[in-house]
Amino acid sequence: MKLLKNELETLKVLYFNRNATKSEISEQTRLSNFLVSTAVDSLLKKGLVEESGDIPSRRGRPSSKYRIKPDSGYFLGVSADINSIIIVLVDSLGRLLEEGEYSFEYESESRNIDGFIERLIGKIDDFMKANVSDIGRLRMIGMGIPGIVDTEKGIWLRGLRIPGVSNINIKELLQEKYGIEVIIEDVARTVTYYASTAGSGRGIDNFVIIHLGYGVGGGVFVNGEIYKGSHGFAGEIGHMIVEPDGYRCHCGNIGCLETVASVDGILHHLNDRKGEIIVSTMHSHDFHDKRFEKLDDVLEAAGNGDNLTRKVLFDIGLMIGDAVSNIILFFNPKAILITGPNSVLKDYIEGAIWQRVRNRVISEFLADFKLEFCNYSSDNESYGAALLARETYWRQEILKLS
């Protein structure tokens, strides 16, 4: 859509301020009231702007406020993992309109990457048919995927926990399928974007996300922007070595944080250590036949006071603390935000993390430092991807901002 300079200046004010009166737009753009009024009227006719209410005035008529029209464009956010596909739809104000969650068992339903992608596209199709009434207003798709992603080119280099991924140009594949721009990001960085715009990171210029789930990832937010590195790989916290004699990781190394703090890593440690001579409420004649199968089993045992479970979780917390300490020393962030499904283990790992941090980090680094476990929802990854798509579209396609 071609826009005049004064229209672009007006839209910038509304984009960054949510809504504004004509006089406020004039003040910020330094355009005359006449030019602003002309620009607003034109944007109203083009369907990009709408009135959002009035401000009472002591003299004369109230002043109307304007905002970007919510239905001027819609954005799809997708997060895909080995267990589920979650899709959300947001409007041009970034408001969540619809969401869908689809379970997916990679091993049982599709043992090759082609089947995985076929399943992914099928679920996007289903969601769009059910929730996007005007496909012509779908402006961009944002997707968060696990593994190693070249975000500049949109190439899925390695899936790590998802076998069979090797240099898949998933960006090009989806753009050809849907005919609109697609942005691809590491799933942990879509959570980082969510945190910076709608979550616990709002108002913090420098923070690091640690995302604990079926994998372990991270995002680095520096001076108000996500730091991606030269190829978009920055933030692979999950592959920091914390247990040199531990388990082998999907990446090929031994003792990565992911082998410790992921769901599988936690279950692996607990099941391997069940034979330790620790007083445990689970000790019984058939104790050695029982296995921790899911995170709920861990929470139940820890909540019931099981000493073995609590001891293992404390040790895992210490190793997470090693990673946190290194991050603090390297980045000196204002905050480290821990999120993801495994953040529900806060009560059993937070103390250990702090113990390690206080032992290993110079005290001056901890002045005003905050370690926070976020309130996590399963749509945070896809919502972040949708918000990132919205920002990319408005800043680059409409406002022409670098």
Residues 46-76 have pLDDT tens digits of 999 999 987 765 565 678 999 999 999 999 9
Last residue of a domain, one of 46, 68, 90: 68
Same domain, 211 and 255: yes
Write the DSSP assignment of 304-353 as a string of letters. Answer: TT-HHHHHHHHHHHHHHHHHHHHHHHHH--SEEEEESGGGGGHHHHHHHH
Output the average pLDDT for the chain.
Answer: 91
Instruction: Name which of 152, 176, 147, 144 is nearest 164 in CA terms.
Output: 147
Q: Which CATH number does the domain housing residue 59 bear? A: 1.10.10.10
Range of the domain at 36: 5-68
Q: What is the pTM of this model?
A: 0.90
Percent over 70 (pLDDT), the chain: 93
Helix (H/G/I), strand (E/B), else coil: 92: coil
Residue 388 binned pLDDT confidence (cut-offs 50, 70, 90): very high
Same domain, 15 and 88: no
Q: Which CATH number does the domain housing residue 389 bear? A: 3.30.420.40
Last residue of a domain, one of 14, 39, 68: 68
Same domain, 166 and 232: no
Q: Contact, 353 vs 322, CB < 8 A?
A: no
Torsion sign, CA atoms 197, 202, 205, 206: negative
Instruction: Tell me how far apart the alpha carbons of residues 18 and 224 are, in angstroms, rounded to a whole number.
Output: 18
Residues 137-194 have pLDDT tens digits of 999 999 999 989 998 899 999 888 787 888 999 999 999 999 999 999 999 999 999 9
CA end-to-end distance (rounded Å), the chain: 18
Instruction: Give 90's strand partners.
Output: 75, 96
Instruction: Give 373's strand partners.
Output: 338
Say what the pLDDT of residue 339 is.
97
Q: Contact, 362 vs 108, CB < 8 A?
A: no
Same domain, 77 and 142: yes
Last residue of a domain, one of 15, 41, 68: 68
Q: How many domains does the chain have?
A: 3
Angle, CA 25 vertex, CA 23 and CA 30 arms, to 5°: 95
Instruction: Give 77's strand partners.
Output: 88, 142
Say what the pLDDT of residue 290 is.
73
Same domain, 212 and 298: yes
Q: What are phi and psi of 360, to 5 degrees?
A: -120, -10
Same domain, 113 and 228: no
Same domain, 265 and 351: yes
Same domain, 17 and 94: no
pLDDT for 81 beyond 90: no
pLDDT for 281 beyond 80: no
Residues 1-27 have pLDDT tens digits of 688 999 999 999 999 998 999 999 999
Instruction: Tell me how far apart the alpha carbons of residues 159 and 147 are, in angstroms, rounded to a whole number.
Output: 4
Same domain, 270 and 307: yes
Say what the pLDDT of residue 161 is.
79
pLDDT for 278 beyond 90: no
Same domain, 76 and 62: no
Of 44-58, 186-200, 236-250, 376-390, the poorest mean pLDDT is in: 44-58
**Mean pLDDT score, 123-128:** 96
Residues 195-212 have pLDDT tens digits of 999 999 999 999 999 999
Q: What are phi and psi of 77, to 5 degrees?
A: -120, 130
Say what the pLDDT of residue 336 is.
98
Same domain, 111 and 184: yes
DSSP state of 241: B
State the angle between helix axes of 22-29 and 33-45 in degrees (0 to 180), rounded to the nearest 10: 120
Radius of gyration of the chain (CA): 24
Residues 90-109 have pLDDT tens digits of 999 999 999 999 987 655 44
Burial bucket for residue 216 (CB in 10 Å: 0-12, 13-18, 19+): buried
Same domain, 224 and 337: yes
